[in-house]
A and B are shown apart, each in its own frame.
Chain A
Amino acid sequence: MNLEIFWNQQIGFPILTLLIFLPVAGAVSLWMRKDLRGARIEALILSLVELALSLLLFPFFASGVSAMQFVEYVPWITPLGISYHLGIDGISLFLVILTALLTVLTLIYSWDRIREHLREYLICLLILEATMIGVFISLDLVLFFVFWEVMLIPMYFLIKIWGTGPDRDYAALKYVVYNLTGSVLMLVGFIILYLNYHDWAVQIRGLEPYSFNYQRLLHAPVSFEKQLWIFALVFLGFAVKGPVFPFHTWLPSAMLQGPIAVSVMLSGVKLGSYGLLRFNLPLTPEASQVAVPVMMALALIGLIYGAFIALSQPNLMTMMAYAGISHLGFVTVGLFALNQIGIEGALLQMINLGVAGAGMIFVVAFLLDRRGSFNMHDYGGLAKRAPLLATLSLIIVLASLALPGTNVFIGEFMILAGVFKVSALYAVIGVTAVILGAAYLLWMYERVMLGKIEKPEIAVMPDLNRREAVIAYTLVALILWIGLYPAPLLSRMEPSVRAVVDRLEKQELPLNPVVRIDPNNPHAYLLELLSHSETAPAVGVSEGSVK
């Protein structure tokens, strides 16, 4: 059962639109601004309001149902079936909140770090936030694609203009080329899906012939051959964004050359895995099942490969990039376990790794600001000078290596337990990465934080200032909270994941009844839906088999 619950049934204002357009409006108003100090404050306040808004979703969110919630629907380009269609479910809820949170933390971090083109920098960050949130809440494929592509623009400028590395031009270009290539392939996949829908819809009375509506597309049966095409093309798009091995080499260079803000967002917001979960698994369930061995192979190679490179890396930021690639392998492995616990673990892990991954980047950033170097051999003995930094970063390190009691452990355990049901071999390979993770992270910690202070620069290094402490404490609190009490997250994720799993297991279409949505009277739509009992066949859909 997969209903849509409209915003006016849950909350008094179109909250999702607000979530997208508040940062955009903020960006416009910043553009007009003259004084820089005011711009900084305005951006921070805006992002805080945005975070508060996203947190508002949490109490109003109806747990226990897989429905899309806070839905907004306005026809946009009707002849082509394109609509402005937004909604949130258990899959996207926490990703939106996390994105808003990381934006706030990034702005706090950037407070006195960015001096050149400050206003443009803030604009880029806000636009980036708007597009990422847009990606998570779009239920129309074209709308999704627009956000997905527009996102590249602020990212490109961020890397290119505010990047710290000498090769930032190359890194920015590489980022765009990789991602454009991926997203074009994805678009082709979407178009095939769209055409397939059309072929099906024209045979059924009362359906609009064209639709990019995600909910609609879920109904159209897709032949196995087409599923393979769609799966492959869409996967490539998300694999690049992920990044999944071997499409990952843009990430280390973007993180190394780009500014900290970019690294935080790239390692904190898991757009690629979200895409796999939202589109690949439910839209092409059969192809997903066939693809499992390939997906597992890629994910596990990435998992081990990234860990081994991280093991040999003296450069902190590069190490974090490869650690991120390795961690993302875990998420992908969990997704393609294709069972409840694996997928739920993977979804939780997207949040967990967002928190822990961003935490690691901030730690590296704090180091960089103090010493101006990414080379871990330039450090040593920091614990003596900066006990708070050492303690908080230890907790973040421990989370990253999945110590029980921290959030990452829960996700990792769920993922591996899910994978184990598929194949013991995959799980055993995954477990070996647990060893490697401990090795590279602790060696890193040892070299940077522990030991005698031998460099004069370290001897005068300050501990965390108040802004930095706020960032670190926030992330540490999240790490421990989710690690010890993940129930509030898991209980909201479960129904939505269950809906995906049902689709995968029963291979039964449609996922939800097809009804016409009257944008002027959404209540009627809901009533109509509710009037059908859950077992009644969906309107207009009688032969729901896949082939």
Chain B
Amino acid sequence: MVIGVDFVWLIPAFPLLAVLINGLVGHRLSERAVSVTAVGSVGLSFLVASATLVQVIADPAPAVTALFTWIPGGDLVVEFNALIDPLTAVMMMVITGVGFLIHAYSIGYMHGDSGYARYFTYLNLFTVSMLILVMGGNYLVMFIGWEGVGLCSYLLIGFWYERTSAIKAGTKAFVVNRIGDAGFLVGLFLIFARFGSLNYSDVFSRAGELSTATATAITLCLFIGAIGKSAQLPLYTWLPDAMEGPTPVSALIHAATMVTAGVYMVVRNHVLFDMAPLSLQTVAVIGAATALFSATIGLVQYDIKRVLAYSTVSQLGYMFLACGVGAYASAIFHLVTHAFFKALLFMSAGSVIHAMGGEQDMRKMGGLAKHLPKTATVFIIGAIAIAGIPPLAGFWSKDEILGAAFKHGAPVLWFMGLTAAAMTSFYMFRQVYMTFYGSARMDHDVEHHLHESPNVMIYPLIVLAALSLLGGLLLGFPPEEGWIHRFLGPVTGAQAVPAGRQEAHAIGAIDYILMGLSVAVALAGWMTARQIYLKKPETAGALASRFATAHSVLYNKYWVDELYDATVVEPSKGLGRVANRFDDRIIDGIVNAVGNLTQAGAALSTGFEKYMIYGLLNITGYANHIAAAILRKIQSGQVHHYAALLVIGIFILVNLYLWFFDNTTVALLLSRLSLNGGN
């Protein structure tokens, strides 16, 4: 580092300040003041992050800066520190850059909402957490961010807390993520047990000490966390429901940044993953399976945001596929381009929903292109980008991943990815045609009110559209040797190249064939969608009824939610009820039985009550005060009976002890005790 890196703490500090301002006094401020504070803080963060990026480009060596000792816990000492390296720099740029655009878009989108200040507080808090997640120099600081973004996601999904579906979705997201986090925590304990430290620098430099088995255990546990956070099979179910939140939130949290945290984490820990082939295989298989699985669901959904949600799950699957085949830089590359085009798609969908007065069902849209020309244009750019048609951003990153999978010797995974790519193209253009073309299917009332969104919403879309157009070329061309690959090189190492394949590193015939296939399936998907949804809209219904079973399975999302409910949620509650009955019947049954036994001693101790307790109280002279009020109540319980029983108990136990340990001093002691009046 040329200059110290301490200034990077400013990056999360600006939005944190905004959180405090808007959180504490935001409800008294005007919308304008709130949004200037919130958006401005992220803008400042972006500037500092850019400065950091420049510095890191100059000197890519990792730099650590510590604020204070967070947990001085004996053997466990955890600093509150940050690690700044190319990976962090890229992530920070995405978070603050795309984040800034989404914040700005929100000014228009949330205009007039009664929770305006609350919204921006949460959104800023999310930015802070996400920054801490990627900046953290050890696992525990990262975990603050990791759970912090989960919290903000919970808060923002349930932002409109009067909607039952929204709050249920929020709770679901949090709880499902917790399942992943539990695995993640176990991974941290394993790391701590092995290395005695949770600092990345210590762990990665000493990773060689691990056996393959331990490395596998650690990485699988960490990956469970990634499965939850990045919505992979089988813990993906929360993400589609998360669409209950405001649309910019879906763009920021549930597409561009938070859900990619799992990918970031895997790449960050690639040193460990590289040591565990089994884990890498698991990552690759789950990634490819998720990509395909959720793409199939996306084919038949009608909710404009849900289609995008399943598409997000699917694209995250690609990123994990990339990690699993060792193409870490490609994973981050796809993460970045995906942030561009998916944020774009979500926010232009938001623009549509905004215009439609809240309607999200694509069956009630159609022909919107003429009413919303700008929105339609940017949405289509996004669709082309994600479909993987050159030269837009998505093509470069996705093709690279498919190529890496194929060349890594996993043609099955490649084929799954390719199939998913065809489906992606299909459902994206299905969405384009259903929304923007064909006949208008909305009410006249709605149609009458259609309007293009205000500029504050459109400008961010234009920037993102430009990035979706050119981002891939700028960052990642030529494939596998673009700027981003070279920049990330110090972190990810050279793209893991299986031995004996070095000579093939230059782009060869195989790459062109794979590329051609990718483009072909993307175009095929597009054309099919065009045929069905634009040319002959009636075929869609016909196909659906012809393949009714398949359609129903997909439309109902394989009934996975219902399955989880029946096998996990309900049994858990049932178990709780059983345990409760155990408490009431068995444990308390025993207690009460013992209690009844002592009633027998009641007669014995009545005298004790009369002469001891009342006697004592009378001596104090204040008995009048309290005796009337309190003692009457004592009589209903037989405390003293128990006391009597307990004295007997002591006697028995002491004798038992005497019997076991023939102790001559005890006799002496007992006599002394009794002389003292029974202590």
Known contacts A177-B595, A181-B646; A120 and B576 CB within 8 A of each other: no
If A420-B193, A452-B162 touch, whether A341 touches B76 (CB-CB below 8 Å) is yes
Would you call the interface of chain A mostly helix, strand, loop, or mixed? helix
Interface string of A312-355 (1 = CB under 8 A from B): 11000000000000000000000000011100110000000000
A177 in contact with B642 (CB, 8 Å): yes
A411 to chain B: closest CB distance in Å?
10
> Do B639 and A439 have beta carbons less than 8 Å apart?
no
Q: How large is the interface on A (under 10, 10 to 19, 20 to 34, 35 or more residues)?
A: 35 or more
Residues of A within 8 Å of B182, CB to CB, are: 431-432, 434-435
**Complex interface bits, A49-72 against B, C-beta within 8 A gives 1, otherwise 0:** 000000000000000000000000
| Interface pair B572/A308, CB less than 8 Å apart | yes
Question: How far is A384 from B643 in the complex, measured between Cα atoms in Å?
Answer: 52
Which residues in A have their C-beta under 8 angstroms from that of B164? Answer: 451-452
Chain B positions within 8 Å of A528 at CB level: none
Interface flags, B177-188, vs A, CB<8A=1, else 0: 011011001101
Flag whether B543 is at the interface (Cβ < 8 A).
no
Partner of A249, one of B147, B188, B588, B639: B588
A172 touches B637 (CB 8 A): yes
Q: A420–B192 contact, CB under 8 A?
A: yes
Task: For residue A7, give the distance in angstroms from its CB to the closest CB of chain B.
Answer: 27
Given A439-B572, A490-B71, A490-B73, decide whether A421 and B588 contact each other with a Cβ distance below 8 A. Answer: no
Report how far A450 CA is from B140 CA in the complex, Å. 31
Interface status of A517 (Cβ within 8 A of chain B): no
Task: Give the interface SS of chain B, mostly helix, strand, loop or mixed.
Answer: helix
- Chain A contacts of B178 at CB under 8 A? 434-435, 438-439
Contacts A188-B650, A439-B175; is A173 near B639 (CB within 8 Å)? yes
B72 interface residue per 8 A CB criterion: yes
A309-B579 CB under 8 A given contacts A431-B186, A451-B161: yes
In the complex, are the beta carbons of A414 and B162 less than 8 A apart? no
Task: Check if B167 sits within 8 Å of A156, measured CB to CB.
Answer: no
Q: Are B666 and A195 in contact (CB under 8 A)?
A: yes
Is B189 engaged at the interface, CB distance under 8 Å to the other chain? yes
Q: Is A176 an interface residue (CB 8 A)?
A: yes
Residue B575, interface by CB 8 Å? yes
| Cβ distance A365 to chain B, nearest Cβ, rounded Å | 23
B223 in the interface, Cβ–Cβ < 8 Å?
A: no
Report the stretch among A39-47, A102-110, A265-273, A481-489 that lies at the interface.
A481-489
Q: Mark A178-215, 1 if CB is under 8 A from B, else 0.
A: 10110011011001101100110010000000100000
Q: Which of A156, A188, A313, A434 counts the most B-chain CB atoms under 10 A from its CB?
A: A188
Say yes or no: A199 contacts B650, CB within 8 Å. Answer: no
Given A442-B174, A446-B167, check contact A191 B654 (CB 8 Å).
Answer: yes
CA–CA, A180 and B641, complex, Å: 11
B contact residues around A463 at 8 Å (CB)? none
Residue from B144, B580, B625, B673 in contact with A405 in the complex, judged by beta carbons closer than 8 Å:
B144
CA distance A191 to B72 in the complex (A): 39
The reply to whether A161 and B633 contact each other, CB–CB distance below 8 Å, is yes
Find chain A residues with CB under 8 A from B167 CB. Answer: 446, 450-451
A188 touches B639 (CB 8 A): no
How far is the CB of A80 from the nearest CB of chain B, in Å? 6
Indicate whether B573 reaches chain A with its CB closer than 8 angstroms: yes
Q: Are A77 and B646 neighbours in the complex by a CB distance under 8 Å?
A: no
Interface residues of A in 148-183 (CB under 8 A from B): 156-157, 160-161, 169, 172-174, 176-178, 180-181
Q: How far is the CB of B219 from chain A (nearest CB, A)?
A: 16
Report the stretch among A255-263, A291-299, A491-499 that lies at the interface: A491-499
Q: Smallest CB–CB gap between A443 and chain B, Å?
A: 6
B148 within 8 A of A: yes
B288-296, B442-450, B657-665 - the one binding chain A? B657-665
> B143 within 8 Å of A by Cβ?
yes
Closest chain B residue to A117, Cβ basis: B629
- A185→B653 contact, CB < 8 A: yes
- B576, A313: Cβ atoms under 8 Å? yes
Give Cα A351 to B49, complex, Å. Answer: 39
B69 contacts partner chain A, Cβ-Cβ < 8 Å: yes
Residue B409, interface by CB 8 Å: no
The contact of B657 among A229, A420, A427, A434, by CB within 8 Å, is A229
Are B75 and A246 in touch, CB under 8 angstroms? no
Besides A435-B178, A439-B572, A451-B161, 15 new A-B residue pairs in contact (Cβ under 8 A), listed by A number: A79-B672, A184-B649, A229-B660, A312-B575, A312-B576, A313-B576, A405-B144, A427-B186, A427-B189, A484-B70, A485-B68, A486-B70, A487-B69, A490-B72, A497-B74
